[in-house]
A and B are shown apart, each in its own frame.
Chain A
Amino acid sequence: MSRRLLVSTFAHEQDLLDATNTAREKGYTILDSFTPFAVHGLDKAMGMRPTRLAWVTFFLGISGAIAKLWFQIWTSATSWPVNVGGKPLKSVPAFVPVTFEVMVLFAGVGSVLFFLFRRKLWPGKKPRFVYERTTNDRFVLVLVEDRADFDVSEVRQLFAPFHLVNLEERMEQES
């Protein structure tokens, strides 16, 4: 099914924040909001859960480190043990630097890929929401007209104090 969306545009992040807060207080369903830069407090205003990306990074890092440490010990002590400068075959201290580097590599690359995957971003992807100035100087709040008694004019009233720049209705794209 396709839903009707109400798109309201503002010219300043502060307006957007206030609008979002009021909208949530009034119990409107907020689909998303679009801004040229990360507006602090907006997550709270929209009532979003904090992301768990950090955990992904953590586990990727740990696994990378363990894998590499094992690999180094395996190659130099098991696969082909060679006497190098009289050092023991398992010279663990010498294996630390590479282990660390690989840990960082896994964590870093992993979390970026994970981020792109979760947010479904990839090269050549078409932007989902098109409102040309959201990447420039416009702040957009998108409400879902999911209630039977949803009244656009009421919302206009509600947002008026926040220098509402523009208000329009759209249909969510089918696919």
Chain B
Amino acid sequence: MKDHLHTSEDQLNLPEEFSRRSFLKLAGFTFAGGVLAGCQQSNLEKAIPHLIKPEELVPGVPLWYASTCAGCSAGCGVLVKTRDGRPIKLEGNPEHPISRGGLCAVGQASLLGLYDSQRLGAPLAHGKESTWEQVDAAIKAELEGIRKRNGAVRFLTGTITSPTTNELVRRFLSTFKDARHVVYDPVSSSALLDAHERTHGVRALPQFRLEKATTIVSLNADFLGTWLSPVEFTKAYRQGRSLQGTPPVFSYHTQFESRLSITGSNADERVSVSPVELAHVASRLLSLLTERAGRRLPVAVPLLDERLERCTTECVERLWRTKGKSLVVCGVNDVAIQVVVNAINEVLGNYGSTIDLNRSSYQAQGNDTDLAKLLDEIRSGNVSALFVDGVNPFYDLPGAQELAAACETIPLPVSFGERNDETAEHMHYVLPQPHELERWNDSEAIAGIVSLTQPTIQPLRPARPLMETISIWMGTKESAYNLIRAEWERSIFKRQTREQSFTQFWNKTLHDGFAIVEPKRQAVSSFNPAAVAESLRQLSTQSLQQKLFVELHASSTILDGRHAHNAWLQELPDPVTKIVWDNVASLSRKRAESLNLHEGDVVRLNREGGRVIELPIHIQQGHQDDVISVSLGYGRKGTDRFHHVNPKWLQAKPTVEKGGTVGTNAAPLLEWKGKTLSYFVSGIEVERTGTNRQIAVTQEYDFLTNPNLLGESSGEKRNIIQQASLATFVANPSAGSFPKPPLDSLWPEEHTYPGHRWGMVIDLTACTGCSACVISCQVENNIPVVGKDEVARNRELQWLRIDRYYEEEGETLRVAHQPMLCQHCGNAPCETVCPVLATVHNSEGLNQQVYNRCVGTRYCANNCPYKVRHFNWFQYPRGDEIARMVLNPDVTVRDRGVMEKCTFCVQRIQLAKIEAKNEGRALRDGDVKSACQQSCPADAIIFGDVNDPNSEVSRKMKDPRTYRVLEELGVRPSIGYMTLVRNSDGIAVAEGGMKNG
């Protein structure tokens, strides 16, 4: 495998885009300079071929490698597209059982991390660059000493899904008397595991099978956003909500939550509750269900207020009706609630059907109890060696300062990581880790689903994976490749029977990227009701009287902060708030008014113990009044690297001040509730600072209804999103359709599309707004990052945006996500007005944008009813040479002053057509997948040839749900949208639409 990756260094350090970037302007000026250009070539292009040409590698032809995504610990399968020896795109592996072809925004964007020139280039010893030999020698010596005096060795990591690494760590630690492997997740699900330890006697994270559930009740679990394994869940969620078949199998999803999450925005019924209410709702659900089951609870559960009582009883009805096919999940890191939730699922008999404890998940293994214990040990100073890998405790744990101080006493603190982060800077030794695309690795994210990670590029940094380091310290100098092979031969190979020889098994796995084997057996004991009683007692003690909470949650783009150095994700609008480059304190309008705060006012959140953070506030629809929610992951050290991510000019504001950070770290507010980390923090006082900070959002008006005279959104409603309730849909498949206006043309139909005609259908019922498509498009099409200031000026460049609309009807808030991209109109208004024929129609119905012909009058953008055209207002910086290696060589890098927009990934169309031609066959449906379609975890986007009657897209085009946005304008868009159907009976969403003249 390795020698496939042999690539001449020159090619890596000399991206052709480099010259490409400077081209347009240069040409421009010489053109302007006149016609008297000489004969000889101005700057000679030196081309250097491979010296020894590996058979597979043809320059200019992409190679694909199956691998595993390391964006988070969910372990999705990816296909890595490499061109001329460098990865340029990650796409979901359709065969992979976890992600099934989907890949979230984080996964897509993790590619950029590879080309981060700020990754460590050499091991650090006491803050100074050193060599591996010296570092190894020093550490080994230290370890010897520790081994002799039986010092305590602690290995602190995040969730590690790699069986090999885990095994190696175990072996390594076993060579010490007092050694422990402590695992924690910065955004912890520990309570969920602990709860199962109490109720089922095994500390495991079950695998939730949303596809099997017809009733889903989520208590603050953002499973479509960031919770555990979003892609897997989204796929399953979609599967359980299909409109095919009569009657359609379409789950009913109730979301009890305190802030508006992506999951909540997709729920059929959304109940906003305060944390305390949440606890009580849980117990109430349990008590009502046990009553239904004809049993009684040992503890009396208090009644809820009228609103919640109604919701819960309805909820219980549904759950009971569908027991065995229902699922209750809870995202609160509180053992008591989790135990109660387990009890609920037990009563409903969901264990074994929608909850799988035998094929349990390893996607989150954090154990807060262990962590707490370790922290005590550190404070009391009896840890002699601390190894930190994959986590950043001095950043993502509360009270980082005193922790750091305590660490001074540790004789041997070592950290493994990509950069010199908050933790690393307190360590004696920092050992750089390679990027996942540079290394060998393996993963078992769900018991029995093992996948491999293989290097797809020659390492850009001389880093060394953890497993190799350990093996060196243990005296066996094995390469990661051998270690993994060995481990697989030892343990994993035996857990399957299909393949006879290990080599076959290995090669097949390597090719497919994954293999399915027997899960490790674990002793799951039957449900233990004893735990429930005292959990209920605990919950009932919580007083229902109102008080202010701060909810801390993972950022939906940079998660717990591990991706804070990723410009793509920093500029990816949050699917709900649409905020970029910042974290905010979100609160309800009511609360904001009571505090007399306005959008962007900076507040100080004081927590006793002098833990203070300052944040601008953001007024958020559907937010619970007693909760202020703050996203974790921001305020990472070194993010002032983005100071100049936006273009420099007279009135430009830097994205982040020099020495500052992007956003603010909210971790100091976290609090220990006993032995678990709590993400609901009470006892916070809010203080106005009087200052105001601009928040950069990509959507400024959030409603489908016109603003009325006072600017409130109570005006006429616009026909943009067709909506229907499941009930009305079942009655009439074209329910909620807008009036179809007569579309007569003054012109004769002169232009026919005899060959292909490309079209797209976007299913609004499927789309969750997760924004994976946005990043996928950005990577595929070389879309630059423009920085906070430019976004604030509404100059973001992402070709695909997701419009998020709110509809408020009294209590209930309805949210609709609508991906909006170039509609490739048949009668494109942009084309008629372009003076220089820079945007015209092609013979396959594409609306072409020819960058090199564009003069930049912006007339086309003005005349675009969808406003999906984006202009290069400046020469947007594209980072250093290394960062530029990520550019897709098949797509022109646009220069300043030209218009750009979605091209339906025309480069893919062209290549697919050429391939077909070369193989002498016709193009098949599915040969061309647009980047957005490929990555969509919800399969909401279908792209293809509308002229081909058998293509999926042409079938969808005929679907009664399909409509076109702004059809009445007669521009004949090539993109069809499918009615957004919600499993909410008889909601008159379709009515009240406007009649179009």
Contact = CB atoms under 8 A, between A and B. Distances in A.
Interface of A: 82-89, 91
Nearest to B845: A83
Interface residues of B, number: 18
B750 A84 contact: no
A84 B748 contact: no
Contacts of A82: 837, 840-841
Contacts of B831: 84-85
Interface in B703-759: 747-748, 750-751
A84 B747 contact: no
B827 interface: yes
Contacts of A88: 747-748, 750
B747 A86 contact: yes
Contacts of B697: none
A83 B748 contact: no
Contacts of B837: 82, 84
Contacts of A84: 831-832, 834, 837, 840-841
A84 B860 CA distance: 12
A86 B828 contact: yes
Contacts of B840: 82-84
Q: Which 3 A-B pairs have the closest CB atoms?
A: A86-B827, A85-B831, A85-B832
A89 B827 contact: no
A10 to B, nearest CB: 58
A86 B834 CA distance: 14
A93 B834 CA distance: 17
B750 A85 contact: no
21 contacts: A82-B840, A82-B841, A83-B751, A83-B840, A83-B841, A83-B843, A84-B834, A84-B837, A84-B840, A85-B827, A85-B829, A85-B830, A85-B831, A85-B832, A85-B841, A86-B747, A86-B841, A87-B832, A88-B747, A89-B750, A91-B747
A82 B843 CA distance: 9
Contacts of B834: 84
B398 interface: no
Contacts of B841: 82-86
A87 B841 CA distance: 10
A84 B831 CA distance: 6
B668 interface: no
B654 interface: no
Nearest to B752: A83
Contacts of B842: 83
A117 B837 CA distance: 41
A148 to B, nearest CB: 68
B972 interface: yes
Interface string B803-840: 00000000000000000000000111111101001001
A87 B748 CA distance: 8
Contacts of B843: 83
Nearest to B863: A85
Nearest to B833: A85
B967 to A, nearest CB: 15
Nearest to B843: A83
A91 B750 CA distance: 11
Listed residue (A85, A87, A89) with the most chain B CB atoms within 10 angstroms of its CB? A85
Contacts of B751: 83, 86
A85 B826 CA distance: 7
A94 to B, nearest CB: 8
A82 B832 CA distance: 11
Given A83-B843, A85-B832, 18 more contacts: A82-B840, A83-B751, A83-B842, A84-B834, A84-B837, A84-B841, A85-B827, A85-B828, A85-B830, A85-B841, A86-B826, A86-B827, A86-B972, A87-B747, A87-B827, A88-B750, A89-B750, A91-B747
A92 to B, nearest CB: 11
A73 to B, nearest CB: 14
A62 to B, nearest CB: 27
A85 B845 CA distance: 10
Contacts of A91: 747
A135 B840 CA distance: 59
A124 B840 CA distance: 51
Listed residue (A82, A83, A88) with the most chain B CB atoms within 10 angstroms of its CB? A83
A89 B751 CA distance: 9
A89 B840 CA distance: 12
B671 to A, nearest CB: 61
A89 to B, nearest CB: 7
A88 B841 CA distance: 12
Nearest to B747: A88
Nearest to A82: B840
A84 B842 CA distance: 9
A83 B757 CA distance: 14
A163 to B, nearest CB: 64
Contacts of B748: 88
Contacts of B972: 86
A165 B834 CA distance: 67
Contacts of A87: 747, 827, 832
Interface string B750-779: 110000000000000000000000000000
Nearest to B751: A83
A82 B834 CA distance: 13
B997 to A, nearest CB: 22
A144 to B, nearest CB: 57
A83 to B, nearest CB: 4
B38 to A, nearest CB: 30
A128 to B, nearest CB: 43
Contacts of A83: 751, 840-843
Contacts of B827: 85-87
A68 to B, nearest CB: 16
A96 to B, nearest CB: 15
A88 B827 CA distance: 11
Nearest to A80: B837
B217 to A, nearest CB: 50
A30 B826 CA distance: 73
Contacts of B750: 88-89
A76 B659 CA distance: 58
Interface in B663-695: none
A1 B249 CA distance: 113
Nearest to A89: B750
Interface in B86-103: none
Interface in B822-872: 826-832, 834, 837, 840-843
Contacts of A89: 750
Contacts of A86: 747, 751, 826-828, 841, 972
A82 B841 CA distance: 7
Listed residue (B748, B751, B842, B972) with the most chain A CB atoms within 10 angstroms of its CB? B751
A85 B865 CA distance: 14
Contacts of B829: 85
A82 B837 CA distance: 9
A87 B840 CA distance: 11
A85 B828 CA distance: 4
A82 B850 CA distance: 14
A82 B829 CA distance: 15
Contacts of B832: 84-85, 87
A88 B834 CA distance: 16
A83 B842 CA distance: 7
A71 to B, nearest CB: 16
B397 to A, nearest CB: 59
A130 B831 CA distance: 62
A86 B827 CA distance: 5
Nearest to B847: A85
A83 B748 CA distance: 13
A93 B748 CA distance: 14
A86 B747 CA distance: 8
A12 B830 CA distance: 65
A77 to B, nearest CB: 10
Contacts of B826: 86
